[in-house]
Chains A and B, each alone.
Chain A
Amino acid sequence: MSRTRRDPRTERALHLVAGTARPRLDRAAAPAAASPTGRPRRDPRAEVDSALVPGPARRRLDRTLRQTGLTGQTGHIVHLIEPEIALTAPPRIVVVEEPAFLVAAVPDAPGGRLTAHDRQVLGAARLLAEGGGAVVALPGGPVEELGGAGADRSQVLAGESEFDPEGRAAALAAALRRLKVRHAVFPETAEGGDLARRVAAALGEPLFAAAESLTARAVTRAARGRRVEQRATPPRLVSLTADAVAAYAGAPREAREINALGEVAAVPRAIVSARVVPADPATVPLSEAEFVVSAGNGITDFERFRALVAALRATPGASRVVCDAGLMPRAAQVGASGTVLDATCYFALGIAGAPQHLQGVARCEHVVAVNTDLHAAMIERAGLAIVADAQEVMPALLAALQAEETRE
Chain B
Amino acid sequence: MKITVLLSAGRHPVSARPCPPAVELQALRLASGLAADITGLHAGPSADGVADALGHGLSTLNLLTIKGDSDPLVSLAATLKATTPDLILAGRQAQGGEDSGLLPYALARELGLPILADVVRIDAGGEGLLAVEQVLPRGARRRVVLRLPALLTVHPAAPAPLPFTFAAARRGKITQLQGVDSQPPSAAPEERPYRKRPKLIAKSAAGASAADRLKAATEAAAGGGRLLVNPAPAEAAREIITHLREIGVLRR
Instruction: List A residues at the B interface (Cβ < 8 Å).
Output: 74-81, 83, 111, 120, 163, 166, 189-190, 193-194, 197-198, 200-202, 204, 206-207, 209-210, 212-213, 220, 222-232, 243-246, 268-280, 284-285, 288-291, 312-314, 344-345, 347, 353, 355, 358-359, 362-368, 370, 374, 377, 379-389, 392-393, 395-397, 399-401, 404, 408
Contact = CB atoms under 8 A, between A and B. Distances in A.
B98 to A, nearest CB: 6
Given A74-B229, A384-B240, A289 B220 contact: no
Contacts of B239: 384, 386
Contact of B105 (A74, A198, A358, A377): A198
19 contacts: A75-B228, A163-B142, A194-B117, A223-B97, A224-B97, A229-B192, A231-B190, A231-B192, A271-B144, A272-B129, A274-B145, A278-B140, A279-B139, A284-B139, A344-B249, A384-B243, A387-B228, A388-B230, A396-B234
A278 B141 CA distance: 6
A344 to B, nearest CB: 6
A383 B244 contact: no
Contacts of A288: 137-139
Nearest to B200: A243
A223 B98 contact: yes
Contact of B218 (A210, A279, A358): A358
Interface stretch (B27-35, B39-47, B108-116): B108-116
A189 B101 CA distance: 13
B191 A277 contact: no
Contact of A273 (B145, B202, B238): B145
B91 to A, nearest CB: 13
A400 B234 contact: yes
B109 A273 contact: no
A224 B129 contact: no
A280 B243 CA distance: 22
Nearest to A55: B229
Given A271-B145, A362-B202, A83 B224 contact: yes
Given A189-B137, A228-B193, A388-B233, A313 B250 contact: yes
Contacts, number: 278
Contact of A80 (B129, B144, B227): B227
Contacts of A362: 202, 216-218
A275 B221 contact: no
Interface in B223-247: 223-234, 236-241, 243-244, 247
Given A229-B195, A230-B190, A345 B244 contact: yes
A185 B191 CA distance: 22
B114 A269 contact: yes
A382 B145 CA distance: 43
B244 to A, nearest CB: 7
A399 B96 contact: no
A76 B227 CA distance: 8
B99 A213 contact: no
B139 A312 contact: no
Contact of B229 (A189, A206, A374, A395): A374
A80 B193 contact: no
- A344, A388, A392: most-surrounded residue (chain B CB, <10 A): A388
Interface string B162-198: 0000000000000000000000010101111111010
Given A197-B105, A223-B99, A79 B224 contact: yes
A404 B223 CA distance: 30
Contacts of A368: 240, 243-244
B142 A275 contact: yes
A385 B227 contact: yes
A251 to B, nearest CB: 19
B150 interface: yes
A269 B113 CA distance: 10
A386 B99 contact: no
A210 B108 CA distance: 21
Contacts of B194: 222, 226-229
A405 to B, nearest CB: 9
B65 interface: no
B230 A383 contact: no
A285 B139 contact: yes
A228 B192 contact: yes
A386 B231 contact: yes
B166 to A, nearest CB: 25
A225 B96 contact: yes
A308 B225 CA distance: 24
Given A190-B118, A230-B190, A355 B218 contact: yes
Given A81-B220, A284-B138, A291-B249, 19 more contacts: A120-B200, A190-B118, A201-B106, A227-B16, A230-B191, A244-B200, A269-B114, A273-B144, A274-B144, A275-B142, A276-B142, A279-B140, A312-B244, A367-B220, A370-B236, A379-B227, A385-B225, A387-B227, A401-B241
